[in-house]
Amino acid sequence: MLETMVINFICWPSTKPAWILALLLNLVPMIQVHGQPPSSGFISIDCGLRNSSSYNDSATGLWFDPDDGYVEGGMRKQISQKFMADPFNEQQKTLMSFPDGSRNCYTLPSTIGKKYLLRATFTYGNYDGLNKTLDGSLFLFGLHIGVNSWEAVNLTNWDHTSILWKELLTVAPSNSLSVCLVNLGSGIPFISSLEL
Ligand SMILES: *[C@@H]1O[C@H](CO)[C@@H](O)[C@H](O)[C@H]1NC(C)=O
Ligand SMILES: *[C@@H]1O[C@H](CO)[C@@H](O)[C@H](O)[C@H]1NC(C)=O
Ligand SMILES: *[C@@H]1O[C@H](CO)[C@@H](O)[C@H](O)[C@H]1NC(C)=O
Ligand SMILES: *[C@@H]1O[C@H](CO)[C@@H](O)[C@H](O)[C@H]1NC(C)=O
């Protein structure tokens, strides 16, 4: 159920051509993904996947890759065992955590000038056993496309098993797109899945 939708327009200044215009969609959690076109032309990453081979997700019909080749660094984690039995998307069970570095980026191949839908999901699942989303302190980190800020991922007061979704329509500025997690000093950035 889509409850709210915030649409912003971001214009990149100066040297970049005027076509770099992004439509920002701020989607609330628990939106089901159905009716996806087949995987060809899609990049779907199940972040933190321990298996080194890709798999065909029966729920979405999409082919999910592990992080290898898309990002350097990071630690593979999985949500708390006690949530594993919940009817999660397969992709929410593992995540990639980035305790080191102020900025860690996924690099996705793209075609310059082409428009893409980016979708990132975040499920904390108390993976570190620290109850970070519900301990009363601020828990948030930044999400950037290249050097441009996309949005903050604010998981403060966020239920352990709720999925936070971020979606963005963007035009590729080159033949690769960087999606970066930025440590803002309010918790360790992580990501559960990333789709292009
Ligand atoms: C890893 O992937 C291979 C090939 O798809 C599969 O046979 C194996 O069961 C998987 N291992 C785990 C732990 O999921
Ligand atoms: C994934 O599996 C579904 C059936 O579960 C099949 O229809 C689809 O073609 C498969 N996708 C790929 C890329 O193999
Ligand atoms: C997390 O911490 C908050 C505040 O201390 C507490 O109320 C809550 O019960 C804790 N939740 C879990 C699952 O540990
Ligand atoms: C993050 O969310 C918390 C709880 O909803 C809110 O109090 C806080 O102002 C938010 N911070 C930012 C920077 O959005």
Mean of the per-residue pLDDT values for the chain? 82
How many angstroms is it from 64 CA to the middle of ligand 2? Answer: 11
Assessment of whether the complete model's pTM goes beyond 0.85: no
- For residue 169, name the pLDDT band (cuts at 50, 70, 90): very high
How many angstroms is it from 41 CA to the middle of ligand 2? Answer: 14
- For residue 74, is pLDDT > 80? yes
And the tokens for 123? 């499920």
- Starting from the CA of residue 46, give the closest ligand: 1
Span 106-162, pLDDT tens digits: 999 999 999 999 999 999 999 999 999 999 999 999 999 988 999 999 999 999 999
Residue with tokens 């076509």: 19
Mean pLDDT of 70-74: 95
- From 135, 155, 156, 157, the mutation candidate for ligand 3 (largest count of ligand atoms within 8 A of CB) is 135
Across the chain, the runs of DSSP E, i.e. the strands, are 6-11, 21-26, 44-46, 55-56, 63-64, 75-78, 94-97, 103-109, 115-122, 140-145, 148-154, 164-171, 176-186, 190-191, 193-195
**Per-residue pLDDT at 6:** 34
Mean pLDDT of 95-113: 96
Show me where the domains of the chain are located. 38-195
Burial category of 76 from C-beta neighbours within 10 Å (exposed 0-12, middle 13-18, buried 19 and up): middle
User: Which is nearest to 74 in space by CA: 43, 104, 49?
Assistant: 104
Superfamily of the domain at 38-195: Galactose-binding domain-like (2.60.120.260)
Q: Is 157 in the pocket of ligand 3 (CB under 6 A)?
A: no
One-letter amino acid identity for 29? P
Q: Is 51 in the pocket of ligand 1 (CB under 6 A)?
A: yes
- For residue 104, name the pLDDT band (cuts at 50, 70, 90): very high
**Per-residue pLDDT at 87:** 76
- Within 6 A (CB) of ligand 2 lie 39, 56, 58, 61, 63
**Per-residue pLDDT at 60:** 86
Span 1-44, pLDDT tens digits: 333 333 333 333 333 333 332 323 333 233 333 333 334 578 99
Q: Is 53 in the pocket of ligand 1 (CB under 6 A)?
A: yes
How many angstroms is it from 15 CA to the middle of ligand 4? Answer: 33
Mean pLDDT of 48-59: 92
Q: Is 80 in the pocket of ligand 3 (CB under 6 A)?
A: no
**Per-residue pLDDT at 40:** 53
pLDDT over 70 for what percent of the chain?
A: 80
C-alpha span between 30 and 92 (Å, rounded): 12
Mean pLDDT of 81-100: 92
- 91 SS3 class: helix
How many angstroms is it from 55 CA to the middle of ligand 2? Answer: 10
Atom of ligand 4 nearest to the CA of 154: 1
Q: What are phi and psi of 10, to 5 degrees?
A: -120, 125
**Per-residue pLDDT at 88:** 78
109 — alpha (psi -120 to 50), left (phi > 0) or beta?
Answer: beta
